[in-house]
Amino acid sequence: MKLQNNYKLFFILITAFYCNSIWAEEPKPKLLVDVGYHLDNNTFPFVSIFTKSKIEKKFIAVPNISVKVYLGQEADANLLGTVITNKYGKGMISFPVSVNTLWDTLSQFKLIATSVAGKKYESVSNEVSLTKAKIYIDTLWADGVRSIAVTIKIKSGNEWKPVKDVETKIVIKRSVGNLSIGDKETYTTDSTGKATAEFTKVGMPGDAGGNIIIVGKTEDNELYGNISLERKVKWGTPLVNVNTFDQRTLFATRDKAPLWLLFLAGFIFITVWAVIIYLFLQIIKIRKAGMENWPDIA
């Protein structure tokens, strides 16, 4: 029985070893480049780059990669710039003035990201084709119910036209993870380009003035990228931040010890040490008495 077990162990070890060597021979991971188009508050657009590679079924960020970003086609005139990704594999670039005329004429556009070949990775390219879009927010009030209407418009020739069937998110901005203002996660625009969400999150804490920030956005949309717009509304409850940090408690820092403890401990300490000091004085007294009588021996 024991022998058999040993065999099993041996077999497992061999298998493990073999698997290991297979892993080792695997070709080096391929670099992947994500391109994203962003437009916040309908101001200036920018392009985000994320360089990563897939290792053991997981995406791992690859830092320090130079990525050239082009508008329309891979030509020097169309270069937006070169991005070097940071330690999280991320980088971003906005549209420089040099592409002014080109950008102005386009309603549909293509973004091309090409990584510069390096020691570890070969050059890879990725592109997205998008339509220029803008987003609008309206606050609605009907029958005591508050709603938010988000409108998406795309550029068509020289005009901005509403567009239907766009999935939008209408959320309350929070520090991590935004909370939908209504009961649904997403809202789709109708033929007038409008998506309406009822505000059901009554009583959400806002800032000290009760303001909350509503964000309407498209997220990773295949046609329009990431466009978002914020609107501050006074729909929340004023935040009352109860900060007990400076209170004197048993779990506060040393400079914030409870007063009763300080007095109690101090009283005991001072009393006992006063007695001890008194006793030392007595020893000095005994010493003195001895010295005075026979100063010669001392």
Partner 1 sequence: MENTTALINEQITKDLLPQKFGKRGMIWTGALIVIALIGAFAYYRQLRYGLVVTSMRDYVSWGIYISNFVFFVAISLVGSLITAVFRLANVHWSTPLTRIAEIIAVSAIVFASLIIIVDMGRPERFVNLFMYGRIQSPIVWDVIVISTYFVISLLLLYLPLLPDLKILIARESKDAKGLQKMYRFLGSFWKGLAIQEKINNKAVTILCITIIPVAFCIHTVTSWLFATTYRPGWDSTNFGAYFISGAFLVGAGGVVVAMYVFRKVYKLEKYINEMHFDKMGKIVVMLALLYLYFNVNEYLVPAFKMKKPEEAHLTQLFAGEFAPLFWFAICVGMLIPIAILLFKKGRKPVPMFVAGIMIVIGAWFKRYLIVTPTLLHPFLPMYNVPESYHHYFPSWEEWAIAIGSLAGALLVITFFARIFPIIPIHETIIEQHETAE
Partner 2 sequence: MENKNASRREFLTAGMLAAGVATGCSSKKNPFDGYSDSSIKASGETVKLLSVDGEIIEMDKAFLKPVPDLPISNSEARKGIDGKKFVMVIDLSRCKNVGACKSACNHAHQLNPGQNWIKVLPMQDAEHTAPYWEPTTCMHCDEPPCVKVCPVDATFKRQDGIVLIDSDRCIGCRFCMAACPYSTRVFNWQEPILEKEIAAQPYSCETSMPQKMGTVSKCDFCPDMARKGELPHCVSACPNGVFAFGDMNEDSVTNGTETFRFSELIKSKAGYRLMEDLGTKPRVYYLPPANRNFPYESGLENVDTEDKKYQLK
Closest contact distance (angstroms) between CB of 265 and partner 1 is 6
What is the sign, positive or negative, of the torsion defined by CA atoms of 107, 148, 178, 206? positive
- Cα separation values, 261 from 145, 245, 256, 270, 275, Å: 54, 18, 11, 14, 21
* Chosen from partner 2, partner 1, none, partner binding at 290 (C-beta under 5 to 8 Å by type): partner 1
- Cα separation values, 129 from 11, 108, 121, 221, Å: 53, 7, 25, 11
Site for partner 1 in 214-273 (CB under 8 A): 250-254, 257-258, 261-262, 265, 268-269, 272-273
Q: x/- binding map, residues 228-267, to partner 2, per CB under 8 A? A: --x--------x-x-x-x---xxxxxx-------------
* Chosen from partner 2, partner 1, none, partner binding at 99 (C-beta under 5 to 8 Å by type): partner 2
Residue 106 binding partner 1, by CB under 8 A: no
Pairing mode, if any, of strands 125-131 and 108-115?
A: antiparallel
- Count CA atoms closer than 13 A to 241's CA, side-chain side: 7
Alpha carbons 218 and 163: distance in angstroms, whole number = 13
Closest contact distance (angstroms) between CB of 4 and partner 1 is 24
- Degrees to nearest 5, angle at CA 130 with 124 and 132: 140
Q: Site size for partner 2, by CB under 8 A?
A: 60
Q: Which of 64, 192, 220, 267 binds partner 2 (CB under 8 A)?
A: 220
| Sheet of strand 108-115: strand arrangement | 79-84, 66-71, 108-115, 125-131
Site for partner 1 in 262-281 (CB under 8 A): 262, 265, 268-269, 272-273, 275-276, 278-279
Q: What residue ranges bind partner 1 (CB under 8 A)?
A: 250-254, 257-258, 261-262, 265, 268-269, 272-273, 275-276, 278-279, 282-283, 285-287, 289-291, 293-294, 297-298
